[in-house]
A and B are shown apart, each in its own frame.
Chain A
């Protein structure tokens, strides 16, 4: 049996929180927004051809695993990442690493997570949590979504680590092994911001970044005519769920990114970043307003308060704001 002295701290975004908490265990203090920003976690993509729960997928962040890998690399932290074909191997490796005294981050599917809030138990394979100890057949878990520490049985843990479907975790586990004494945040921050800015305004593809938001806005105008009020409302709900649900998602990520820019302005001693951070905060509030208006539409499906055109205009406004913000950020030095 082993139970490490791991401090559980809740977070807005599971992977950044997990990374920040694991580094905290290794005596390096870094906030969750800092990890999120350096790991270039912010993104936008609209994938109408990829259906999730019978509606198009909207994503407000990068692929799972990128944040941890990028952030640790930028910070000079050495880390290990494993995947296993065989569940037995992956579990014995997990025990072995815990025995050595390292808490381990895991990518899991949420459908079979017994301690998860029942309303979130859908097939979502991009969730992250930390295992900090084990006993005979029980594993001790710190999940940044949860307001308490939790436990899981061996069998259930195997099940969620080998969940199937899109982005199947296939037993992915990761943990930092060495944290340098002195870390210079400045170059890491600058590269992180450049990467995000490029993702948001530099990719010549219509479904991603600020362009992706415009594309979504354009298709949203056609939903009611094309799909009928019921389905249009469900599609809209799906966008909002991706924006608001598990791990604070969309609007939440904009807030986290704003907090990151705010913190970075102090570290880099560049005041103009403060301004941009404020713009980001306002932009995030606009997103939240959008989801608030949208959810009222979902409640009164037959006679919505706001037309889809109105909501689409709100999205266009967000797209313009983000375009402006990230164009400015591309010039960071």
Chain B
């Protein structure tokens, strides 16, 4: 029997979402973690992508170049726009036909909409927003299972969830929790076209209009520099200073949940367990105390600078370097010195 490790290849308008690449990397690692079992049983394990859309062969190829050995593709004009019901039905059909062991889906807006519906229909377990995934043994059972670790209760508790008796073992993972493997144009894989017919009954809800957000899309998850502000700014205007420093560093503005809940800045800027998971090269946290729910979303950053007046703020526990001081003094001075540096090198 072939043990199948599946990744949902999310795409929009023919562009693969980077989270699909990240999950293909995870699936590849999970397969290596059962190599002892494969050796003993003589079975094989494969990493496969599941792709639904319209004219998405390029996306299938992209998935292969990120590590999928095979891509099952439902390519039909009916799937031009994402809709819950037809996508759910198409994927259920593929799951029942091929019987995967593990099924990973990106915890994006689309992925979360889809995953709950698919898991319920198949009657299997689904663990949301995992931050760690491993294949390992569990008590009172033989063989290795998917150990899905996730934060709960606002990040105050870390729990490892297993789904022993049902297949596939499903998990969602937010973008940027894992790093994507390098794209390898030499990778070879197979694209398998699958037929699935959408019935009128599946189209009870239809897209009638799409209003694209104005301005440039804030790509917080994939930004290389993020300057975030929190309640310590004292007032919503403080984000102007945050933005000035972000601009100076070619970065974008992030925020704590407290500042979003206070209505100081839009939700799309929120970093943390209920906001975006980020891993920039540079993360500056100004006036953010560092609640667990914030820390779990940014602790993978390469370099974390924390600025806070309170020397005991929890944010200092995960910072690379901490500055005890008033952000309204420190940030303007940083901008000044950065400009001087640029001037000196120009």
Specify whether A and B are partners. Answer: no
Interface residues of B (CB under 8 A from A): none
Interface residues of A (CB under 8 A from B): none
